[in-house]
């Protein structure tokens, strides 16, 4: 192999095998370089506004994406009983593996140092808007996407009220939901790991 | 006689099994596999004296090889890779772990569409044909759920196998389109720092991903180990983020929305965040730090004679290449560098092996991975000190396996 490379190098030296342009001539004959890639291949088609609207269902922490509608915990109790209780328990106590939804302990967020703490909406979730985003996309599990905005706001109000995050008569809507400050809001920190020496 | 045939336990007791069967007595075990085409009773006394089987459309496994993921049957749950049955670098595609949040959707590839919208110059729809017509890249990478190792940290017991502890791991060759290619097609606008990736399953699973990762090495994957993705792995298209926790590698991808901020979706707030001492929790902890795990000898193996034993396992890092794996047979008092089977790839798992002469005394086996950033896999004690006994996800501490004087191997926890 080495001898072959030397021979090739010698041939190149004589024949000037890397001439200007997009080809090389040598033992393999003339070999062309690939054409440079375009900035765009112009593959795919333009999405229509209707297509975007149909799938653009996410809600962020500012409440962007929340639809019109409203509901309170009283209305939410009925929605919860009908749609949620069979998996999450009558009072949101959870039915493993279906998670517990209600509970404020440990109020000091000591999840790392205790081994018995169970995460709930009230003790762990940093943003109330996440409830709307998640329920709309995935709940109830056997019929996702079937609850109306009023039902969704109402059941969220029930979950938050049961967690003592909002008063029972507080109405949840596109304005009030993003304004709810969750108990664990300030418990979350950015990732400070970066590889290298030392363990974090 | 192969080394495996010298191994005791249920497998050797059954006679000629090449690979150990799933451990009896390991809680909740029960392999779900197709019945073999042949049963061992069909096997001729002398296979050189009878005509063999004809060609067929696909290869099954030997009737002597009993394997499978476990547990099975959950629509919101996981099934684990039988790591203890493998010897190389690649995970067999049909045994790759699963983690689903609302079951495996059935998606018609002709109807499949990927919507890309938000802070882009051109909001676009791509079909599967569109994606497959773009320049493809093929790379070897591991994929791991960040919950991998939970049983080995929070549910320690002697009869845990590598499948039980670390089976939310696979290593495969992935083919697809670089996300950077898609970014050029749609023209990402200034201010777009995050993209929401959404799956087309019944959970519409969603995760926010920094655009910097999409520019770096992210892929839209449509093939694994040379064939179209299998449905549990995300057919027809999944997001693939090399080295990042499995949940962000959104399967059945149907939408990418470019935004200024992360969405704070359920799986990036209430789940997949890591509680830390000091009553905090780390969020957007994407990278999987260097880690290794021994796959042989482990539970349910038993060493039946003294002498040379080959230790074998896998090592991987979400931050680049593995540069070394050390092994210890004395519980971490002394360490020896293991052999790596091949050239370690970037964010890919590599097999390590080490020949150990067992003298019949009780021993504690450990492995320790080092990656190209200089990161050294932490001890169990250092991990617990740094993260706390109740932390969640990213369990990359050193694992210990105890060999008793009678050769029985059990999981040792912190040992």
What size, in residues, is chain A? 200
Q: Is B154 in contact with A115 (Cβ distance < 8 A)?
A: yes
| B188 and B121 both lie in a single domain | yes
Please tell me the number of Cα atoms within 13 Å of B329 on its side-chain side.
22
Min distance A36 CA to chain B CA atoms (Å) = 12
B235 falls in which pLDDT band (50, 70, 90)? Answer: very high
Q: Which residues of B touch A52 (CB under 8 A)?
A: 115, 117, 123
- Give the nearest partner residue to A127 out of B196, B264, B284, using CB atoms: B264
Mean pLDDT across the stretch B304-332? 98
B316 and B171 in contact (C-beta within 8 Å)?
Answer: yes
Q: Is A130 in contact with B133 (Cβ distance < 8 A)?
A: no
B348 and B140 in contact (C-beta within 8 Å)?
Answer: yes
Q: Is residue A57 less than 8 Å (CB to CB) from chain B? A: yes
Among B100, B102, B61, which Cα is nearest to B82's? B61
| B268 and B302 both lie in a single domain | no
User: Class of the A58-187 domain?
Assistant: mainly alpha
| B215 and B169 both lie in a single domain | yes
The pLDDT of residue A126 is 98
End-to-end CA distance of chain B: 33
| B273 and B295 both lie in a single domain | no
Q: Is B102 in contact with A144 (Cβ distance < 8 A)?
A: yes
**CA-to-CA dists, residue A30 to A15, A22, A34, A37, angstroms:** 12, 10, 13, 21
| B304 and B244 both lie in a single domain | no
What is this model's ipTM? 0.89
Mean pLDDT across the stretch A154-168? 98
| B211 and B342 both lie in a single domain | no
Last residue of a domain, one of B230, B252, B282: B282
A45 pLDDT higher than 80? yes
One DSSP character per residue, A33-90 reads: PPPPPPS----SEEPPHHHHHHH-----TT-TTPPS-EE-HHHHHHHHHHHTHHHH-T
Q: Is B386 in contact with A200 (Cβ distance < 8 A)?
A: yes
Last residue of a domain, one of B264, B282, B300: B282
* Longest CA span, chain B: 73
Lookup result for tokens 């970066």: A194
Please tell me the number of Cα atoms within 13 Å of A134 on its side-chain side.
21
For A68, the token pair is: 């019109």
CATH of the domain at B220: 3.90.420.10
Last residue of a domain, one of B282, B315, B332: B282
| B302 and B268 both lie in a single domain | no
| Residue B36 burial class via C-beta count within 10 angstroms: exposed 0-12, middle 13-18, buried 19 and up | middle
| B243 and B354 both lie in a single domain | no
Task: Give the count of domains, chain B.
Answer: 2
B345 and B141 in contact (C-beta within 8 Å)?
Answer: yes
Question: Chain B window 212-241: which residues touch A at a Cβ cutoff of 8 Å?
Answer: none
Q: Is B265 in contact with A97 (Cβ distance < 8 A)?
A: no
A19 pLDDT higher than 70? no
| CA–centroid distance for A186 within its chain | 19
| B275 and B373 both lie in a single domain | no
Min distance A104 CA to chain B CA atoms (Å) = 14
**CA-to-CA dists, residue B214 to A103, B117, B257, angstroms:** 38, 15, 12
Give ranges for CATH 1.10.760.10 in chain A: 58-187
Contacts of B344 (CB under 8 A, 6+ apart): B321, B322, B323, B350
B415 falls in which pLDDT band (50, 70, 90)? Answer: confident
| B119 and B259 both lie in a single domain | yes
The pLDDT of residue A3 is 55
Please say whether the dihedral angle defined by the alpha carbons of residues B282, B283, B288 and B293, taken in this order, is positive or negative: positive
B282 pLDDT higher than 50? yes
B307 pLDDT higher than 90? yes
What is the domain extent for residue B399?
291-413
CATH of the domain at B314: 2.60.40.650
Among A70, A87, A109, A93, which Cα is nearest to A159's? A93
| Residue A10 burial class via C-beta count within 10 angstroms: exposed 0-12, middle 13-18, buried 19 and up | exposed
CA–CA separation, B414 and B392 (whole Å):
17
B294 and B365 in contact (C-beta within 8 Å)?
Answer: yes
Q: Angle formed by the axes of helices A129-138 and A149-162, to 10°?
A: 130
Which backbone phi and psi does A81 adopt, to 5 degrees? -60, -40
Q: Do the domain assignments include residue B102?
A: no
Q: Do the domain assignments include residue B229?
A: yes
CA–CA separation, B214 and B241 (whole Å):
8
| B117 and B245 both lie in a single domain | yes
**CA-to-CA dists, residue B299 to B144, B295, B347, B412, angstroms:** 21, 9, 27, 10
pLDDT digits (tens, 9 = 90+) for B353-407: 999 999 999 999 999 999 999 999 999 999 999 999 999 999 999 999 999 999 9
* Longest CA span, chain A: 91
Q: Do the domain assignments include residue B72?
A: no
Min distance B241 CA to chain A CA atoms (Å) = 17
- Give the nearest partner residue to A130 out of B74, B261, B266, using CB atoms: B266
| B324 and B206 both lie in a single domain | no
Min distance A37 CA to chain B CA atoms (Å) = 9
């Amino acid at each position: 192999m080495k001898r072959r490379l030397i021979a090739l190098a010698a041939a190149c030296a004589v024949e000037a095998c890397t001439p200007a342009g997009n080809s090389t001539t040598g033992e393999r004959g003339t070999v062309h370089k690939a054409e440079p890639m375009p900035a765009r291949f112009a593959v795919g088609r333009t999405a229509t506004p209707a297509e975007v609207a149909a799938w653009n269902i996410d809600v962020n922490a500012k409440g962007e994406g929340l639809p019109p509608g409203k509901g309170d915990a009283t209305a939410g109790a009925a929605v919860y009983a009908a749609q949620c209780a069979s998996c999450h328990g009558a009072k949101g106590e959870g039915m493993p593996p279906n998670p517990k939804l209600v509970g404020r302990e440990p109020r000091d967020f000591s999840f790392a140092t205790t081994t018995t703490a169970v995460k709930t909406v009230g003790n762990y979730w940093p943003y109330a808007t996440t409830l709307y985003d998640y329920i709309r996309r995935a709940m109830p599990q056997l019929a996702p996407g079937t609850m109306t905005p009023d039902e969704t706001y109402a059941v969220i109000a029930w979950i938050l009220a049961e967690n003592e995050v909002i008063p029972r008569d507080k109405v949840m809507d596109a304005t009030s939901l993003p304004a709810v400050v969750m108990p664990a809001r300030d418990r979350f920190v950015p990732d400070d790991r970066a590889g290298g020496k030392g363990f974090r | 006689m192969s080394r495996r045939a010298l191994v005791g336990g249920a497998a050797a007791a059954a006679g000629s099994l090449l690979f150990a069967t799933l451990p009896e007595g390991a809680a909740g075990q029960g392999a779900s596999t197709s019945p073999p085409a042949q049963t061992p009773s069909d096997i001729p006394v002398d296979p050189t004296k009878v005509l063999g089987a004809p060609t067929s459309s696909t290869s099954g496994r030997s009737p002597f090889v009993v394997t499978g993921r476990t547990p099975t049957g959950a629509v919101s749950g996981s099934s684990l890779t039988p790591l203890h049955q493998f010897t190389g670098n690649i995970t067999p595609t049909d045994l790759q772990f699963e983690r689903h949040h609302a079951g495996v959707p059935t998606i018609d590839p002709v109807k499949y569409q990927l919507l890309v919208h938000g802070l882009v110059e051109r909001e676009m729809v791509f079909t599967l044909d569109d994606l497959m017509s773009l320049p493809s890249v093929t790379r070897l990478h591991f994929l791991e759920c960040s919950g991998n190792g939970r049983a080995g940290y929070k549910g320690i017991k002697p009869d845990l196998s590598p499948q039980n502890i670390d089976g939310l791991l696979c290593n495969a060759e992935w083919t697809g389109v670089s996300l950077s290619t898609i970014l050029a097609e749609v023209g990402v606008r200034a201010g777009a720092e995050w993209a929401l990736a959404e799956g087309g399953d019944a959970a519409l699973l969603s995760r926010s991903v920094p655009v910097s990762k999409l520019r770096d090495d992210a892929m839209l994957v449509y093939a694994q180990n040379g064939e179209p993705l299998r449905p549990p792995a995300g057919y027809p298209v999944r997001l693939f983020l090399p080295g990042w926790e499995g949940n962000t590698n959104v399967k059945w991808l149907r939408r990418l929305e470019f935004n200024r901020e992360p969405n704070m979706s359920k799986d990036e707030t209430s789940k997949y965040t890591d509680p830390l001492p000091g009553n905090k929790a780390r969020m957007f902890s994407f990278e999987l730090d260097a880690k290794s795990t021994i796959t042989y000898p482990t539970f349910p193996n038993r060493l039946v004679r003294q002498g040379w034993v080959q230790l074998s396992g896998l090592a991987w890092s979400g931050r680049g290449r593995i540069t070394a794996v050390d092994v210890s047979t004395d519980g971490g008092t002394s360490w020896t560098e293991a052999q790596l089977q091949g050239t370690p790839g970037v964010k890919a798992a590599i097999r390590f092996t080490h020949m150990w002469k067992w003298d019949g005394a009780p021993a504690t086996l450990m492995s320790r991975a080092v990656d190209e950033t200089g990161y050294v896999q932490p001890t169990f004690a250092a991990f617990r000190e740094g993260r706390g006994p109740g932390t969640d996800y990213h369990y990359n501490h050193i694992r210990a396996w105890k060999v008793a004087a009678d050769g029985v191997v059990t999981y040792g926890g912190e040992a």
